[in-house]
Structures are given as structure tokens and as C-alpha cells.
Amino acid sequence: MLPLLEHTKPELYFYEMFFSRSVRTLVTFSSGAATGFLTCYLLFNSLLVYNTKFTSHLLLNNPHGSHLKDPDIHQLMGQMDFHTDLLQHKGEDRSASESLYKKVRVLCWVMTGPQNLETKAKHVKSTWAQDCNKVLFMSSEENKDFPTVRLETKEGRDQLYWKTIKAFQYVYDHHLDEADWFMKADDDTFVILDNLRWLLSKYSPDQPIYFGRRFKPYVKQGYMSGGAGYVLSKEALKSFVDGFKTQKCNHSSIVEDLELGRCMERLNVKAGDSRDTLKKETFHPFSPQSHLTKNRFSKQFWYLRYSYYPIIQGPGCCSDFPVSFHYIDAKQMYVLQYLTHHLRPYGYMYRYNPEETLNQ
């Protein structure tokens, strides 16, 4: 039996070593595979999340999709004052702009909420809102320090049209005589008031009319995009408020811009053409880079079907006198403020005189 035992021990040792190495190899392979899979998952997931955040506004095939809760991935801390270096523009002739400021009085009210005051609304307040003749920030809560107007509504997408109705009613009750035109904008909309005043200067505030980025479905004369902002004449504002008193309009729908357009049509308030003298758009429902990039929007994207006038994608998209852009984050607010009010190419004259083009 001894020889047998001596012969068996090496065999058992060999099998034990073979089994042990196999287990170690299997464990090592499994660990490596799991680590590699986890790394790839985290990498692609982070890229997917970032890409979704960056393009969420354009992927949704819904012109009335919510954007109020989108996270601001480039949140800006603090705020800046772009009006401290006006001395460097001392020699500029701003007589036309200053004259229109007095003749075409615009009250701006900004749709916001308590959750957006620090991340969005305060940057609106520091930039383009300073060019309004009067500015109000409308919210569901009063903030005396900011300040905001409390509309006695709740927050949420289903409250947007109700907030719009209440805001215009508040303006009518408290500020009707302080302006001739009444602009509604979101807290992620950038507005160039000088260009807006030029557009409005050709019309009378006593005419029932309103302007914005004109969409065509569901309403015969079209309706104005909520995100790009829209502006009502004084007569249009009176008609809108009166429309609820006479029950010609109601707030049964939650779709703000579409329902306001239906109300305007019932009240015989005209949907005006906001394009410039070259028939280029001035109100824009997306950011500049979205409009200026050719083929940015796919053929299936809702925007191409909704626009009242033919869309041009790329550099020819937009007027040289744009009024508004939408989906503008805090940093872009200051970039646009700089580009529209401070950037000056040396010796450069504007491309065309809109008044001369109008008379041709």
C-alpha cells in the first residue's frame, strides 16, 4: 500500500494546484470583466445624462413641453453688472434709442417662481430687464427683497396659463397707464428692448394687436410662442382682461401660449407679423446656436411644422435686429448682454438701414 500512497499524493497535489489556479483565473477574469463593464456603464451613462441635459429641449417632440424643472448644469454663482463701464461708449449716438425709450414705453413682466430667483431671475434682472420702462417679476410667492409679485397661484406646468391670466390682470389693475406695450417673458428668455421698440414703433398701442414668434396649428390666425415671449398693445391687454369678464375666454386649458392665442382670435386681437423688413424672424424660441446651426432640427421636429412662416436654418435664420431668444442660461444671459450692447467692430457700420429697406 505504501507505493500506492506515494503515487497518489503527487496526483492529489497536482489536482489541487490545477483546481486552485483555475479558481484564481476564473475569479480574476470575472473581477476584470465586472470592473470593465461597470466602468463602461458609468462612462456611457454620464455621457448620456450630460447629452440629455444639453439637448433635452430639442429632443422633445412637443412645443409645449416643460422646461421649468430642467437642471442648470452651468449654474452661475453671484451676478454681474454690465452697466459700470458705460463711459467707454460715451461718444456713441444713442439718440434714436433714447427717443424710442420715451415714445414706445414697454412694461416687461417675467414669469418666474421662488425656486428660480437665484438661478435665473436675478440674471434677467441684471441684464436685459434694465432696459424695460417698467419690470415686474411674477411668482406664486411674494419676495419683498427681490422683489416679486404674488399672484395667488401654485407653481407647476399646469399653472402657467393661470399665472399668465393673473399676471396680465395685475398689470391691468396696477400699471395700465405706465406703459403702452406689455411684454411677457420667461426667466430663461433674453430680450433686446431696443429692437423690440423699433418693431413696435410702426404700430399704435390703441390697435388691438400682439406680436411674438408666430405658430400656425390650431388657431386660424396663428398664435405666439410662449418661450420666445410676446407683447400686447394696450388695447390688446384691455381686450384680454375684458374677455374673461364677458366669458369669451376661459382658463380651462393648461397650454398657455395656445390658449392665449385662441382667446385673442375670439376677441379680434390681430396676430401681428414680427419679421423685419427683409422678412427675417426677430422672436426666437431657441438659443442663437440652435437657430444659427444649419440642419439643427430634423424633419420630424415639431418646430418645422409649427412655424407660421418658412424656416431658414443656419446663418440666414435670424434678423440683424433680433428681439428675443429662449432657453438662455445664466452665463448666456451675460454673453448676449455683452454681444448686443458692448461688442463693437472697429469702423463697422450696420449692414442695412431698416427704414430705407422699408421704403424701397
- pLDDT of 32 reads 57
- pLDDT of 12 reads 43
Cα–Cα distance between 30 and 343 in angstroms, integer? 59
- pLDDT of 47 reads 42
- pLDDT of 124 reads 97
∠9-11-13 over CA atoms, to 5°?
A: 70
Cα–Cα distance between 173 and 138 in angstroms, integer? 14
Q: Are 106 and 181 in contact (CB under 8 A)?
A: yes
Cis before 147 (ω within 30):
yes
Report which of residues 65 and 289 the model is more confident about.
Answer: 289
Confidence at 94, pLDDT banded by 50, 70, 90: confident
Which of 169-173, 250-254, 275-279, 290-294: highest mean pLDDT?
169-173
- pLDDT of 276 reads 94
For residues 251-289, one letter each, b for 16 or more C-beta atoms within 10 angstroms of the residue's C-beta and e for the rest, the string is eeeebbbbbbbbbbbebebbbbebbbbeebbbbbbbbbe
Question: What are the tens digits of pLDDT across the range 16-64?
Answer: 454 455 545 555 555 655 555 555 455 545 444 434 443 444 444 456 6
Q: What is the pTM of this model?
A: 0.78
pLDDT at 101 over 80: yes
Bridge partners (DSSP) of residue 148 are 143
pLDDT at 297 over 90: no
- pLDDT of 154 reads 87
Q: Are 204 and 169 in contact (CB under 8 A)?
A: no
pLDDT at 240 over 60: yes
Question: What are the tens digits of pLDDT across the range 163-180?
Answer: 999 999 999 999 999 999
Percentage above 70 pLDDT, the chain: 71
Of 357, 302, 276, the closest CA to residue 59 belongs to 302
Count Cα atoms within 13 angstroms, Cβ side, for 355: 5
Question: What are the tens digits of pLDDT across the range 144-154?
Answer: 999 999 998 88
Averaged pLDDT of the chain: 82
- pLDDT of 155 reads 85
Residues 6 or more apart in contact with residue 233 via CB below 8 angstroms: 180, 181, 182, 203, 204, 205, 206, 207, 208, 209, 210
Of 111, 64, 85, 73, the closest CA to residue 257 belongs to 64
Residue 336 has which C-alpha cell?
448676449
Question: What are the tens digits of pLDDT across the range 327-357?
Answer: 999 999 999 999 998 888 887 766 556 666 5
Question: What are the tens digits of pLDDT across the range 58-80?
Answer: 444 456 654 444 444 456 666 66
Residues 6 or more apart in contact with residue 101 via CB below 8 angstroms: 131, 133, 197
Question: What are the tens digits of pLDDT across the range 104-128?
Answer: 999 999 999 999 999 999 999 999 9
Report which of residues 174 and 156 the model is more confident about.
Answer: 174
pLDDT at 81 over 90: no
- pLDDT of 93 reads 75
- pLDDT of 351 reads 56
Q: Are 258 and 264 in contact (CB under 8 A)?
A: no
Question: What are the tens digits of pLDDT across the range 4-17?
Answer: 444 444 444 444 45
Antiparallel, parallel or unpaired: β 134-139 and 149-150: parallel
Report H helices in the chain. 2-59, 95-103, 122-126, 160-175, 193-200, 234-245, 256-266, 288-292, 302-306, 330-341, 354-359
Of 214, 138, 193, the closest CA to residue 171 belongs to 138
